[in-house]
Structure 1
Amino acid sequence: MTHACTRLRRGAVLATAVAMLMVPVAGGTALAAPPTATDAPAADPPSPSASEDAVRELTPAVRRQLDAVVRRVMDEADIPGVTVGLWTPDEGEYVRSFGVADRSEGRKMTNDLYTRIGSETKTFTVTALLELVDQGEAGLDDTIDRYVDGVPNGDEITLRQLAGMRSGLFNYTEDDDFFKALTTDPQRSYTPRQLLDFAFRHPVLFPPGDKFSYSNTNLVLLGLVVEKLSGKKLQDYIRDHVLLPAGMDHSLFPVGAEYPDPHAQGYSNQTADGKVEDTADWNPSWAWAAGAMISTLDDLRIWARTVATGVLPDGNTLISPFTQKQRLTTAPTTIPGAGYGLGIFNVDGWIGHNGSLPGYESLTVYLPSAQTTLVVLLNTDIDHKGTEPSTLLGDAITKIVSPDHVFDLPAEPAAR
């Protein structure tokens, strides 16, 4: 689903996340070892679901299966800590944390931690844009040159193409100089224009609308559009017009390296020398509108359904049904079985996004046919055999609870 993420150069940014969506539903170094699969009881074989839209009842046996599969993936992929939240309307809920939040102290992972959510930020930035579209402040088929100067092909690239990852603009996080600058001084603060400079030194990849190519550059531009149209800083607009209406009191868009307590430490090998480092104090301004936000398990539970349906917990709409339908209208990507809409993906019926930032990964998805929410949070972004750990967990969990709707998001080959 980064990838929907805001990865650096590894496939840069998530080719996995980013590219994944399908057609909308109807309409490091060896650190301390995580728990091993032998710690859990043997899993029962899965039973078939009653219908292709059903999720399995979260019986004690199914819960044991979930415990075992999470521990197995953690052991195989050397994941320090994981929190999993699964909520169904009739079959109950499963909320568990495994492993450690801090390997140096042995502090346990818990359900109440703040976490950096990487490219899930894209869903908030695009929602802000769609609200402004609903207000008549802009049109999705407006070209970006109306709002931001100096964009290559800016008189041809539409806001819709930016949100749908079809602009053809180079992804700044794949730029060698950017990678060197960030990993040499991870506390440095970046402005949106500085990020765009890394992108615009490269030629466009293809004519606008020609194909899908995940690019964080697109979201930086949309963040600037939101600021110009609203007259507010992006973080303020998202707080006032997205987070507060949704009741997401423990989510924020940081302006620097601030990180509320309690939070997990993050472990990444996306460093200057490739060694694993703790990245909790890295400044996420380099990800800005594409991936800087922080949230919690409970808030992401709210967001999963809200972003997938456009409906707030109180029953009011966040954006109009017409605009929500456009958000969920997906186009083909380079990943089989996955489609991407406007800042959102659909993988075998699961709608939402994943996120990846050095040291952290997340997955927040909703299965409308079963009204089921899945949130996975972990404190590493180190791939296992070329696959993001959040994808490994999403795949393993959904094979158990929704065998007819499996979150299988293979990573794209690296761009270099």
Structure 2
Amino acid sequence: MSNRAAYETVLPYVREWIAYKVWQLRIPGVQVAIGYDDEVLLDEAWGYADVEAGRRLRTTDLFRIASHSKTFTATALLQLAERGSLRLDDTVGTYVPALVDGGSPLADATLRELMEMGAGVIRDGHDGDYWSQLRPFPDEQELLALVLDRGQKVPAGSSFNYSNLGYSLLGLVIAAVSGQSYGDFVRESITEPLGLRNTGPDWDPARAGDFVVGYSGFYTARTRHRLDHVDTRAMAAATGFHGTASDLVRYFSQHVIGHGTLLDDHSKRLAQRKAWSATEDPAARGYGAGFIVDRIGGREVRGHSGGFPGHITQSLFDPASGLVVSVLTSAAAGPATLIATAIVQFLDAAADADAPGTPVPADVDTSTFTGRFANPWGVSDIARIGDRLVEVDPSAPEPLVTPTRLEVVDADTLRMTHGNRFGSIDEDVTYRRDADGSVLSIRAGGGMTSEPWTIPVETPEVAAGLV
């Protein structure tokens, strides 16, 4: 079975699993897109763009994708380098003379060091309350003031230090070199050539009705409240962008080696190679030049996360195979990374021809077995993943840590053949059916009965955690 065919087998369950997570975690809205080999395999939305108005979320509604902006900024700088307009080893002070005039040691840091988060720049300044919407994001003069106020906390080249201020400076570099505003350059060089009509470098008041409302988290309250959109001004290069999941899939597909027209492969490798680890473990998640470098199982992935007031987002792509996943959520602490990671794991499990368990015989209709079942002890899904049937706990944060593999015995019986032996491995799952063949109940783990279960219909306010 080809990877594409294997992925198709599990996409129906991926939809069901996401719907459950949206309900379980009371997420106001989620957009998900999956791409493979330059084709969008899934582009769907769950929940609401505006809960109070009852406006359902569409795949074309706009999220604030925040630090995804850094990948656009890095791409723009690499384009300018390919054109000979700058060199990555040029100093930042060459293009931002205020750093020289202000006596900042950051003036001598290179563009590459800022792109790789190795210039030692303070993360958000000594007054970062704009993130809590207690004041506006800084304009250019305020940005420079934040940087000049003890803006380098360690020497350049000494360690990895994630910095929004550093990437904001790179936006000033792009403007100085191109002779255009940062927004105009990224539109003309990246979003417009790719036809990304729903992607842009900051808040766009002309499209206010297309933006998804962001909501607070459950950190200090049992209910959510809405958060206003704001312009990120001089920090757009670090965190201003808006977009949709499907646009991001098309965009990151351009960064797959051997694909696209944005950058040559040499530039892509420069951006995607790991410059730093985020912890002292050299094998840990790390950073390239504008791209997070990570691993899911045996798969190398690149991409970026994003955190904006009321919006948490995550995009991942495999630069070798062309698999791309983008997940956008409209709540503080939204589980975008959890969902994106699980999707990659589901797809990889589907394509694993050597997975434990017994393949489903070709003449078996797996839809007669699959479904969601519940009893007082929990919820379990029986799903087709590749050419196997698997029992999954949809409530778990990592649904495929210890899946139970199922073998077809007969039309009303499955056997649990592989999994966690604290459970009921080597026992049967038996189905009780109505006269029309529909499932009335199953008897599974521990010999307990479970009945079919569907997500209850709720008001938007209840579903999203506003009441």
Q: TM-score range by the shorter chain?
A: 0.7 to 0.9
For residues 315-334 of structure 1, the aligned pairs below 5 Å read 317-334=261-278
Q: Which moved more, 1:214-223 or 1:70-79?
A: 70-79
Which residue identity does 1:120 align to in structure 2?
A: H
Residue matched to 2:133 = 183
- Bigger mean CA offset, 279-288 vs 129-138: 279-288
The separation in 1 between residues aligned to 2:272 and 2:243, in whole angstroms, is 23
Decide whether aligned partners of structure 1 residues 252 and 157 sit closer, same or farther in structure 2, where only a CA change above 3 A counts.
same
Whether 1:390 aligns to 2:336 is yes
Aligned to 1:266: 214
Higher alpha-carbon Rg = 2
Cross-structure match for 2:291: 344
Q: Runs of 5+ in structure 1 lacking a partner? A: 1-49, 409-416
Residue 234 to residue 158, structure 1, CA distance change in 2 (3 Å) = same
Counterpart in the other structure of 2:354:
none
Output the CA distance in 2 between the equivalents of 1:136 and 1:86.
35
CA distance in structure 1 between the partners assigned to 2:149 and 2:350 by the alignment:
45
Determine if contact 2:85/2:177 at 8 Å carries over to the other structure. yes
Partner of 2:90: 142
Report deviation, 1:55: 7.0
8 Å CA contact 1:56–1:402 kept in 2: the answer is no
8 Å CA contact retained: 1:116, 1:357: yes
Per the TM alignment, residue 276 of structure 1 is displaced from its structure 2 partner at its CA by 4.5
Counterpart position of 1:114: 62
TM-aligned CA deviation for residue 140 of structure 1: 0.8
Partners of 2:71 and 2:290 within 8 A in 1: yes
TM-superposed deviation, 1:292: 0.7
Partner of 2:120: 168
Counterpart mapping for 1:133-282 below 5 A: 133-148=81-96, 149-150=98-99, 152-172=104-124, 175=126, 177-179=127-129, 183-185=133-135, 188=136, 190-202=138-150, 204-254=152-202, 259-268=207-216, 276-282=224-230
Residues 260 and 136 of structure 1, relative CA distance in 2, 3 Å threshold? same
Instruction: Output one character per residue of 1:293-348: Cα deviation in whole Å (capped at 9) or x when no partner.
Output: 12223321210111344843xxxx32233222211221232255323111012221
Alpha-carbon contact 2:99-2:107 (below 8 Å) kept: no
Q: How far apart, CA to CA, are the structure 2 residues paired with 1:246 and 1:275? A: 40
Work out the CA distance in 2 between the residues paired with 1:78 and 1:122. 29
The aligned residue for residue 45 of structure 1 is none
1:296 aligns with 2:244: yes
How big is the shift at 1:189?
5.8
Partner-residue secondary structure (3-state), 2:341: helix
Given that residues 171 and 199 in structure 1 are in contact (C-alpha distance below 8 angstroms), is that contact kept between their aligned partners in structure 2?
A: no
CA distance in structure 2 between the aligned counterparts of 1:178 and 1:371, rounded to whole angstroms: 37
Give the partner amino acid of 1:179.
D
Structure 1 length-normalised TM? 0.73
Q: Tell me how far 1:270 sits from its aligned partner.
A: 11
What secondary structure sits across from 1:111 in the alignment? Answer: coil
Cα distance in 1 between the residues matched to 2:140 and 2:234: 8
Render the CA deviation track for 1:6-63: whole Å, top value 9, x for unaligned.
xxxxxxxxxxxxxxxxxxxxxxxxxxxxxxxxxxxxxxxxxxxx89xx5772345x23
Is the contact between residue 117 and residue 292 of structure 1 (CA under 8 Å) also seen in structure 2? yes
More contact order relative to length (CA 8 Å, sep ≥ 6): 1
Displacement of 1:123: 1.0
Matched residues in 1 for 2:40 and 2:250: separation? 16
Give secondary structure in 2 for the equivalent of 1:123.
helix
1:75-115 CA distance string (max 9 Å, x none)? 44331111111123499822321122222122222212122
Task: Decide whether the 8 Å contact of 1:184 with 1:272 is kept in 2.
Answer: no
Question: Partner letter of residue 347 of structure 1?
Answer: D
2:325 corresponds in structure 1 to: 374
Structure 2: segments with no counterpart, 5+ residues: 352-396, 399-467
Distance (whole Å) between structure 1 residues aligned to residue 40 and residue 202 of structure 2: 34
Deviation (angstroms), 1:260:
4.2
The 1:59/1:306 distance shift into structure 2, 3 A limit, reads closer
Distance 1:275 1:180, change over 3 A: farther
On the 8 A contact 1:114/1:260 being kept in 2, the answer is no
- Call closer, same or farther: CA 1:218–1:357 in 2, change over 3 Å: same
Number of residue-to-residue matches in the alignment: 342
Match of 1:57 in 2: 6
Cα distance in 2 for partners of 1:286, 1:403 equals 43
| Cα deviation, residue 400, structure 1 | 1.0
Aligned identity (percent) is: 26
1:342/1:203 CA distance change after superposition, 3 Å: closer
In the alignment, is the contact (CA less than 8 A) between 1:143 and 1:155 conserved in 2?
A: yes
| Residue 229 of structure 1, CA deviation | 0.6
Instruction: Report the CA distance between 1:370 and its aligned residue.
Output: 2.8
Give per-residue Cα distances to partners, 1:207-249, cap 9 Å, x unaligned: 1111111100111111111111111001011111111222222
What secondary structure, in the 3-state scheme, does the structure 2 residue paired with 1:227 have? helix
Q: Residue 353 of structure 1 aligns with which residue?
A: 304
Letter in 2 for 1:117: I
1:158-211 deviations in Å (ceiling 9; x for gaps): 1001000111010126x3x330686234xx463133123224323522211111
SS of structure 2 residue aligned to 1:150:
helix
Q: Distance in 1 between matches of 2:74 and 2:36?
A: 27
Task: State the partner residue of 2:375.
Answer: none
